[in-house]
Amino acid sequence: MKDISCKLLVIGAGPGGYVCAIRAGQLGIDTVIVDAGKPGGTCLNVGCIPSKALIHAAEEYDRIVHLSNGRNSLGIRATKPELDLAQTIAWKDGIVGRLNSGVSGLLKKAKVKIVQGHARFRDGKTIEVETETGRQIVRAETVVIATGSAPVALPNLPFGGAVISSTEALALTSVPERLVVVGGGYIGLELGTAFAKMGAKVTVVEAQGRILPQYDAELTRPVSKRLQALGIDVMTGAKAKGLAKAGSTLLVEAEDGSETSLTADRVLVTVGRRPVTQGWGLDELVLDMDGPFIRIDERCRTSMRGIYAIGDVTGEPMLAHRAMGQGEMVAEIIAGHKRVWDKRSIPAVCFTDPEIVTVGLSPEDARRTGIEITIGQFPFSANGRAMTKMGEDGFVRVVARLDNHLVLGIQAVGHGVSELAAAFGLAVEMGARLEDIAGTIHAHPTQGEAFQEAALKALGQELHI
């Protein structure tokens, strides 16, 4: 197989890598992208898109179950629905397949050469790829590492048999009767909630004192309430010790040191994700690291000249849109543009029920910086649109500087608030003041009005509360 030489080599075609390659191609850079799997990486194949498809299907099913139980006040009577999870998974796979083709098409349109296979560094500028037809050598002037992350396994609960990661959970073709989720972070709760809505008896085992510990308790309260309403048991301060010999009994050490046995058809382990930095020659390059992650500067440069790293492999926040933002920026830097990374306005969305959105600083973060702040919070129980959607739990909160009203952060929890993430991000990115949000006429009736009302409240000018 003839060696390939190129200006830019991108290793990994997840959201970070493929966006970087597309932009580089558009900018006229001779680019090669290598991936061992299908284009789109974790996000498209076993992450963001499949999980949101499953969540949507579970919500639809749960809604009809609710309407069929005769106790709803909407005046709609439905008959009990049936769920064919194998069909749901086939539908999800169809969406993933369409998007895989879409990403490949975009790469080709940008004249990026795609090499499929597992890459291994020979030296900092040369890799060899195990392709289906043989070994391919690729040499490049510049390399972008975008190899992403993989699920973390617990030593006492290795993956296999009944013990699954999010990847296998997103391919199950029947709903487990009893599902134990180990890890109460966003992936575990999103999937645990979906399976509970589809009829599984779900227990969440979380080692820390509460679920979603990265958010303040006020933001997670509506989520905890909903988990309870769905019949999901949440054990906090509890540690999964391993499977009992029988195979389907999970031993759990409770907060008080006592041991409990949970019967489980499946144990879904979602205790975090580790960067893919081992086993492909990267460790031999001796790049500077930040713990397990590749250390980068504000231009995503590693400690080795001509080698950049982007996305999950570089640490938190491990989010697809952050990887994409870095990918686009790095391509432009390689093309000679002046860009630096500004992480102030990266939104984070947790697709639980209800959803959580955060952008910028929380009240606690802001206080820690010593800045005097003003906070405005508006509940969805006072928002007409939320009432008509039967989604009154939750609120929008705006955090701003007291002196000049610069918006520092925005948080929301509520039904469908993920769609407000764009407005929140824009406000923080553009350096909005409370007056900008308060003075923007928001369409009525929408949940976005709660954003305007929260800003009005922070100014002491609230109208609807």
Hey, which residues are catalytic here? 444
Tokens of 68: 């069929």
Query: Interface with ligand FAD includes 48 (CB under 6 A)?
Result: yes
Query: How far is it, in rounded angstroms, from Cα 393 to Cα 71?
Result: 20
Residue of 12, 188, 354, 414 interacting with ligand FAD (CB under 6 A): 12
Among residue numbers 260 through 289, which ones bind ligand FAD (CB under 6 A)? Answer: 276, 280
Q: Counting every residue, how long is the chain?
A: 465
Q: In angstroms, what is the minimal distance from the CB of 388 to ligand FAD?
A: 26
By CB under 6 A, the count of residues binding ligand FAD is 35
Residue of 31, 147, 220, 358 interacting with ligand FAD (CB under 6 A): 147
Residues 158, 162, 165, 166: what is their CA dihedral angle, to the nearest 10 degrees? Answer: -170
Cβ(395)–Cβ(215) below 8 Å: no
Query: How far is it, in rounded angstroms, from Cα 236 to Cα 433?
Result: 39
Q: In angstroms, what is the minimal distance from the CB of 101 to ligand FAD?
A: 16
Residue of 42, 142, 377, 447 interacting with ligand FAD (CB under 6 A): 42
- The stretch near ligand FAD (CB under 6 A) out of 65-73, 141-149, 152-160, 196-204 is 141-149
Query: Interface with ligand FAD includes 51 (CB under 6 A)?
Result: yes
Residue of 323, 407, 423, 427 interacting with ligand FAD (CB under 6 A): 323
Query: Interface with ligand FAD includes 43 (CB under 6 A)?
Result: yes
Query: Interface with ligand FAD includes 92 (CB under 6 A)?
Result: no
- Site string (183-202) toward ligand FAD, x via CB under 6 A: ----x---------------
Q: In angstroms, what is the minimal distance from the CB of 365 to ligand FAD?
A: 20
Tokens of 412: 């929301």
Q: In angstroms, what is the minimal distance from the CB of 46 to ligand FAD?
A: 6
Q: Report in angstroms the alpha-carbon separations of 78 from 105, 195, 200, 294, 395.
A: 43, 21, 21, 53, 31
Q: Which is nearer to ligand FAD, 145 or 180 (CB)?
A: 145
Query: Interface with ligand FAD includes 34 (CB under 6 A)?
Result: yes
Query: Interface with ligand FAD includes 17 (CB under 6 A)?
Result: yes
Which residues make up the interface to ligand FAD (CB under 6 A)? 11-17, 34-37, 41-43, 47-48, 51, 118-119, 146-149, 166, 187, 276, 280, 311-312, 318-321, 323, 351
